[in-house]
Structures are given as C-alpha cells and as structure tokens.
Structure 1
Amino acid sequence: MTNPPPDFTTASPADLDDLHDLLNGLFLGGFDAESWAIERTLLEPERTLLARDGGDLVASATAYTRELTVPGARVPAAHVSMVGVAPTHRRQGLLTRMMGRQLRDVRDAAREPVAVLWASEGRIYPRFGYGLAAQRLTVDCETTELRLPDPTPAEGRLRVTRPAACRADLERVYDQVRPERPGWSGRDERWWGYVLGDPASQRGGATELRAVLHHGPDGVDGYALFRTRSDWSEAGPQGQVTVNEVVAATPAGYRALWRMLLSVDLTRRLAWRGAALDEPLLRLVNEPRRLGTRLVDGLWLRVVDVPAALAARRYATTVDVVLDIADDLLPENTGRWRLTGGPDDARCVPTDAPADLACDVRSLGELYLGGTGLVALAATGRVEERRPGALAAAGPAFGWHRAPAGMEIF
C-alpha cells in the first residue's frame, strides 16, 4: 500500500532541532552548532515550510522578510533559503509542491512582488521561474603581481579594528551605498549579526574577521571586512587575504581600502567572491589579467507579481511596451501587460493590445535587475519580438547605470 504524500506545515520552535539535523545532512555539515545558533536568530517560523513523513522531517524551505535594491527603487522581496529534500524522498515531487506553495504564499500572504535566492546548483530553480538576475566575479590573485595608482592626500587614513567595535560606522556606510547597487539587501539588527557572525568552523584556518575603515574628510566613508591566513614555504611567507566585503562611498576610500588589502604584510595571495561585473578594481590595477577573475552566478530572481514588480522598479530610458508573459506556476501573471515608465516612475496594467515582446517569467526575472540585455535573451530564443523594432526600442530601458551584484549569501 502506497503511503500518502507528506503534507506541508509551518514550523514551530519544537521543529528547530530536527530542521538543524536535516539541513546539516543536506548541506554536508555546513550547519554546525555555532553557525546554527546564528542562523536560527533569522528564522521566521511562520515563513518556514516543513514536510514530515511519519515523524521524520524530510523537506524544508524558508523565506526571510527583507528589502531588495532594484533599479531606482527598493522593494519588499522574499529571500528564499534552506531549501532541500532528504535523499530518501527525492524524485517524489516534494520540491515542486513545496516551491509552488511557497510562491503562492509570497504572492498572496506576504504581498512581495519578487523572490530571490542563491542556488546550490543552477539547474534547479529555472524550473520554478527563477532567472539568473545578477552574476558576479570571483578574484583569486597573486598580490605581488599587482599595482595600484600612487596614493593621494585625498585618500585619508585607514584603521583596522574588530567589526563589533565599529558596527555603527559599517551600518551607516552600507546604508549610504546600498541604494545605488541593485541586488543588495536591507540589513536590520539580526542581519548585521549574521553578516558579522564569525563561527570558528567557517574560517578555514584563517584569523577571526577584521574590519578596516577609511576615514575621509567627513568621517568614515568606506570599509572592508577581511581575514588572513598564514602560510609559509621555503621561499618565505605565502599568506592569504580573504575579503568578505568592500563598501565605499568615495573613490578615494575605495582606492585606499584596496591598496591595503593587496599589500598586507606576510601575504602573497588574495581571494574575493563578491565582485560586481563593473567592479572598479578591474580598472585600478595595472594588470587586470592577474586578478584571476572568473564569472559565476549570483542572485536568482523570481517575479511573483508581474504588474507590481514592473511598476516598482525604474527604467533607464522612456519605455512603452506590451509584454506577453507566460507563467505556469502563477497563472495570474500570464497575459499581456502594458509597461510605461522611465527614470522617475512606472506603471504596468493589463491590456488587450497586441504584444510587442513575449517571454516567460524566468526571462523577466533575468531582466529585472538590469544586468541582462533584452537583445541577448532574444538571441537565445527566450524573448520573441512580435513587433519589428520593439527589441531595439525597449532594450536600453531595462538596463541600469550600475550592474546588479549579490554580495551577501543568505
């Protein structure tokens, strides 16, 4: 006799130990006790879906209530995480049912127009309408091979300290810079605790997290979070700097921070996993090839409410286009929508007018943060031009003056 499929429920405090055990198995030990103590402060039980088979927890998915910077605006966005199905229950439709339920909850209960996540494997989430909205660069370089322009008096001074001792400065600089960078998320007290949390198990043999502050004419205007790891060979020191974040409100602060990070005594290498595609560092160093950059995926975005999402962001140029959107999981999004707007406002309403362009909701997610070209998607066949000239007319509007970036993995 076949057992009925597990039902989904929301979490309670009594479920957290079982959730820890499930996630620790699914992610191969990434949720040790110290890390879990930080993670559980972020959990919103009412937004955490669980499935049990008998008494065993076999699937989970959660969403965090946060704000996301998008081109010209900030919008409420479900930050999806902790998604997984036990290996004993794969290929039974649990993930499909769970993701469908979560998207419905995001739309109907939370009223968030978009959802975002980091993917453990890129092949998983396009099935549920997520598009790759923000790519990133990783940096892995030999610092002895790189030079920056000589310092100027405007670069101020630097100070290295513990992050907890300068948290107010970190928060202020981040909030100053964030509105200009699509893909960055809002951070309240809990999320700053997460970003600055420093479990020993996650250090990879390196030091505790350190902060370096740049003091400009008007006070602290930039910071970096980093750690170092000692290493030696017969030729001498071979240490490494690992960078978590670099956030600067001024070019002088940005240059000074990188000059220090690339010249820490006893180190010869630097690794960074969060560079934007338009990262100024690529134009500062004397030999960009030596940065060892590699293009990888970052944020995946799902448009949950088409008219609300398209009206929430701004557009680089004036746009007036009719989009024919297909969405198998949220049929309310399927249909023709007239988008009008520009740099200052936008409006998106249903229409019976003939479509200028057609695409699925996954492609719309890739376009949403301004990092993917409309013409490039059309070249793959995933955007169809229904009216001649519509691609050339609408393409520039969906771009933005700053590339989207996903700096903080949640």
Structure 2
Amino acid sequence: MTDSPLPIRDGLPQDFAPALDLLHAAFHNNPDPDLTEIERGVYEPARSLAVVDDGRIVGHAGAYTRELTVPGAVVPAAHVTMVAVAATHRRRGLLTRLMRRQLRQVRDQGREPIAVLWASEGRIYPRFGYGLAAERLIFDIDLRELRLPADAGDARLRSGDPDELRPEMATVYERLRPGRPGWSSRDDRWWRNVLADPPARRESQTALRAVLHDGPGGVDGYALWRSRGGWDTRGPKAHVQVIEVAATEPPAYLALWRFLTTIDLSRSVGYSFGAVDEPLIQLVDEPRQLGATLADSLWVRLVDVAAALEARRYAAAVDLVIDVTDPLVPENTGRWRLTGDRERARCVPSTEPSDLACDVRDLGAVYLGGSSLRSLADAGLIRELRHGAVAEATIAFGWDRSPAGVEIF
C-alpha cells in the first residue's frame, strides 16, 4: 500500500524563508541574509505553490508577474522561478504535479499567454512543454590580442553610484525594451533587485559599478560591471566582469565596449549575456579572442496557443494551419489557422487540412524568433504536411534581431 500524494497548496507570505532555504539546498548554496532580503522584495506568494510534509516545505514553484518582449510586441508572461524539490522527496512526482498545477493556474487566470524560465538543466522542462527559445554567448575575452575601432567622435562617459544613476539607466532600458525580444519589464522593485550589491553577489570582485554614455540627445547607453585584481610574474592581470550593456545608438555601444576592454591593468573581460547576433562580434579585429561559447537562456511555454500566436508579429505574411499537440493543456490541442504579418496576427480554430504538425514545445522554441523552424523540421520535431509550408513558416517565425535574456530571474 502506497502513501497518498502530499497535497499542493497555494503559497503564503510566510513561505518565503523556508522556500528559499529549499532553493539553497537544491542549488548547493549557503543562505545569505542580504540576498534573502533582496529576493523577498520581488517574491509573490499569491503566485507560489508549496508541497508541505510534516510542516516542512519539500516542493515549491513560483512565478513573477512581468512582461516579456516578443517579436513585434510586449506581452504579459509568467516568469517561472524558485522551482525545487527536496532531495529527500525526489522521484515521487512532486515536480510534475507542481508544474501541471502551475500551468493550469496560468491558463485559467487568462492573463498570460506564455510562461518563460531559465532552466537549471535542459532535460527537465521540455517534458512540460517548454521549448528552447533563446540562446546566449558567454564571452571570455583575452584583451592582449584584441582591438576595437576608434570612437566615431568624442566619447562622453561618466561613472557613478549605480543607485544614483538608476533613473537614467532605466530610461535607456525602456527605450530599448519594446524592440528587444527576450527582455523583461523592470519596475522599481526589479531595478532594486538588479542593482542590489551584497557581498554574496560579488564573488571576490569589487562592488558593482556603472558608467553612462552621453550622446547628442542625452544619455543613450550604460554598462554595469565589476572587476577583480590580479598579478603574476608578467605583471597585472585584472579581470573585468560585465553585467549588462545597453545602448540605443551604435556610437554609444562602441564607446562603452571600448571603455570596458581598455580599463587599466585588466587583461581579460567576461560577459555572460551576449546575444547570438551580438554586435561586438562584428566590431573586434579578432573575433576568436572573444572566447565565445554557446549556452541556453530562455525557455518558453505557450500556455494559450491562440492568444500567444496572436500576440506576436511575423517577419513575413503567413497563412498556415498548424496541428498542435499539448498533453498538459488539452485546450491547446487541435488545428489552428494562423494569419499574420508585421502589423497584426489572428489565430483561430480550424477544420481545414493542416500545413504543419508539432508539439506545443516546438512552438515555444520558435516563439521568440531565435530557433529556426527549419532546424526543428530537419530534426523531425515539426512535420510538414503541405509542401513548402516549412519554408514559409521559417521565414515568418524568424525576426530581424535574435532574442536575448539579459538577466536570470
């Protein structure tokens, strides 16, 4: 005789500390009082789920209420986070039940057509319908054999305390965000979270630093960074760790990267959130010295297929009937006729013959315009039922800028 399943209940404000302890144990981190207070500032108990055994939280899943930029639009998206199961309760189906319950809640609330997350392991979330929608380049830059072009004009840079410069950085971020697939909205709570600088976040590096670029019309770019000193028998070898670079104009982008790659006594630069089409690759004289490696970033789940496909825009005119399979959200299963272009889109149920067939996971993978639909078709994941449909859909679902996740949430 087996034990009955442990119940899942909605989150409570007092769940935050024990849920965070569960996360620390699962991710092999030590608790830190400063980080606890930072994370408490964005925690949403009403969007959390908990599994409790004998008074202790042994499973948890949460979400943040934020927007996500997608091709041609900004949409509400459940930012899934704080997902963990205690090591003592593995292999009991708790994660599956948590994810199913969360998807059902997001769907029933009807406000967010998609969910998005960063995955601790790539094998976990495809079974819940999440597709790899954005990749990133991690740069490990060797500065000794790398040069950037000279600035087009006089670079007007000024540094300061990140908190004091926050309003100007937020202005730049908001100017860019509507056109940057993969970027999430940031209200005051989230800016406080991004700029919070406790010792636990520094990892033996300096305090967080900020630099602004002043263009002809005002501030048009910023960078956040830290550094770590170092010396060997050949001299200085400090390391600069770039946290974020945002610029609305090419001269500002170039000036900021020239600054970051020419800081006195530094010999290397790291950056973990480069876009696949990062302009830096085109600017440097020796791209190999960027030491770029490819990694996954955002995973997207279409919670409401019709609403999600209507919410984004398409690089070329599209008129397709897609046969979708979704084992976890039955309302998504069926044939959907998608029509749209760069200005508008419509997705409705259809009884017409299907042009393509796929799992909802594959629609999540192509949703941000980063993954090639042709690639998924060549892998046998998307089936072409009408000759030419894959070519049409590949162009339509693409976009002119690669998606990029610029922060882990």
TM-score tier by shorter-chain length is over 0.9
1:12 maps to 12
In structure 1, how many angstroms separate the alpha carbons of the residues matched to 2:144 and 2:106?
49
1:143 maps to 143
2:204 maps to 205
User: Letter of the aligned partner of 1:21 in structure 2?
Assistant: D
1:40 positional shift: 1.0
The runs of at least 4 aligned residues of structure 1 exceeding 6 Å deviation read none
- CA contact under 8 A between 1:139 and 1:272: conserved in structure 2? yes
In structure 1, how many angstroms separate the alpha carbons of the residues matched to 2:31 and 2:114?
27
1:29 positional shift: 1.3
2:249 maps to 250
SS in 2 for 1:202: helix
In structure 1, how many angstroms separate the alpha carbons of the residues matched to 2:14 and 2:390?
53
Report whether the alignment pairs 1:85 with 2:85: yes
1:394 positional shift: 2.1
1:54 maps to 54
- CA contact under 8 A between 2:8 and 2:98: conserved in structure 1? yes
SS in 2 for 1:290: helix
- CA contact under 8 A between 1:23 and 1:31: conserved in structure 2? no
Are the structure 2 counterparts of residues 85 and 214 from structure 1 closer, same or farther at C-alpha, using a change threshold of 3 Å? same
Please show how residues 132-211 of structure 1 align to structure 2 within 5 Å. Answer: 132-153=132-153, 155-211=154-210
- CA contact under 8 A between 1:78 and 1:114: conserved in structure 2? yes
1:316 maps to 315
Please show how residues 389-400 of structure 1 align to structure 2 within 5 Å. Answer: 389-400=388-399
Larger CA deviation: 333-342 vs 200-209: 200-209
2:338 maps to 339
1:110 positional shift: 5.0
2:101 maps to 101
- CA contact under 8 A between 1:24 and 1:32: conserved in structure 2? no
In structure 2, how many angstroms separate the alpha carbons of the residues matched to 1:299 and 1:312?
18
In structure 2, how many angstroms separate the alpha carbons of the residues matched to 1:109 and 1:35?
31
- CA contact under 8 A between 1:139 and 1:271: conserved in structure 2? yes
SS in 2 for 1:88: helix
TM-score normalised over the length of structure 2:
0.98
1:156 positional shift: 3.3
- CA contact under 8 A between 1:367 and 1:373: conserved in structure 2? yes
- CA contact under 8 A between 2:207 and 2:226: conserved in structure 1? yes
2:121 maps to 121
1:372 positional shift: 1.1
Give aligned pairs, total. 409
Deviations 1:55-105 (A, max 9, x none): 121000100000000000000000000001001110001000000000011
Deviations 1:371-403 (A, max 9, x none): 111111100000000011111122201000100
User: Letter of the aligned partner of 1:408 in structure 2?
Assistant: E
2:296 maps to 297
1:152 positional shift: 2.2
In structure 2, how many angstroms separate the alpha carbons of the residues matched to 1:317 and 1:31?
49
In structure 1, how many angstroms separate the alpha carbons of the residues matched to 2:2 and 2:354?
47
Deviations 1:181-231 (A, max 9, x none): 100000001110111111211211100000010011111100000001111
Deviations 1:303-359 (A, max 9, x none): 000000000000000000000000000010000000000000000000000000000
Q: Where does the alignment leave 5 or more consecutive residues of structure 2 unmatched? A: none
**What CA RMSD, in Å, does the superposition of the two structures yield over aligned residues?**
1.0
In structure 2, how many angstroms separate the alpha carbons of the residues matched to 1:111 and 1:6?
29
- CA contact under 8 A between 2:16 and 2:43: conserved in structure 1? no
User: Letter of the aligned partner of 1:122 in structure 2?
Assistant: G
Identical amino acids, percent of aligned pairs? 57
Q: Where does the alignment leave 5 or more consecutive residues of structure 1 unmatched? A: none
In structure 2, how many angstroms separate the alpha carbons of the residues matched to 1:358 and 1:344?
25
TM-score normalised over the length of structure 1:
0.98
In structure 1, how many angstroms separate the alpha carbons of the residues matched to 2:297 and 2:165?
28
In structure 1, how many angstroms separate the alpha carbons of the residues matched to 2:106 and 2:30?
27
1:352 maps to 351
